[in-house]
Amino acid sequence: MRDIFAEIFENQPLDPMVSARQGGSPELRKRFYTRAHTADQPGEGGFPVLLDGKPVKTPARHSLAAPSRPLAEHLAAEWDAQQQLIDPAQMPLTRLANAVIDAVAAQTKPVADEVAKYLGSDLLFYRADAPPGLVALQAKHWDPVLDWAHESLGARFMLVEGVVYAAQPDTALAAARAAIPNEPWQLGAVASITTLTGSALLALALARGKIDADAAWIAAHVDEDWQMQHWGRDDVAIARRDYRFAEMRAASTVLKHTI
Distance CA 232, CA 164 (A): 27
Buried/exposed 240-253: b ≥16 CB within 10 Å, e otherwise:
ebebbbebbebbbb
> Does the predicted model carry a pTM greater than 0.85?
yes
How confident is the model over 183-212, as pLDDT tens digits? 999 999 999 999 999 999 999 999 999 999
- Binning the chain into helix, strand and coil, the percentages to the nearest 5 are 60, 10, 35
Confidence of residue 16 (pLDDT cuts 50, 70, 90): very low
pLDDT at 15: 54
Beta-carbon contacts of residue 256 (< 8 Å; ≥ 6 apart): none
Q: Is 4 exposed, middle or buried (0-12, 13-18, 19+ CB in 10 A)?
A: middle
How confident is the model over 102-134, as pLDDT tens digits? 999 999 999 999 999 999 999 999 999 999 999
pLDDT at 10: 60
More reliable by pLDDT, 166 or 17? 166
Distance CA 204, CA 219 (A): 14
Cα-flanking dihedrals φ and ψ of residue 30, to 5°? -75, 150
Confidence of residue 230 (pLDDT cuts 50, 70, 90): confident
Q: What is the mean pLDDT of residues 40-49?
A: 91
The pLDDT of residue 5 is above 90: no
Helix crossing, 235-256 with 200-207: angle to 10°?
A: 40
pLDDT at 24: 52
Helices (H), 31-124: 69-80, 92-102, 108-119
The pLDDT of residue 18 is above 60: no
The pLDDT of residue 21 is above 70: no
pLDDT at 254: 98
Count other C-beta atoms under 10 Å from residue 120's C-beta: 17
- Domains of the chain in start order, with CATH, are 2-89 (3.30.2180.10), 106-256 (1.10.3580.10)
How confident is the model over 243-256, as pLDDT tens digits? 999 999 999 999 99
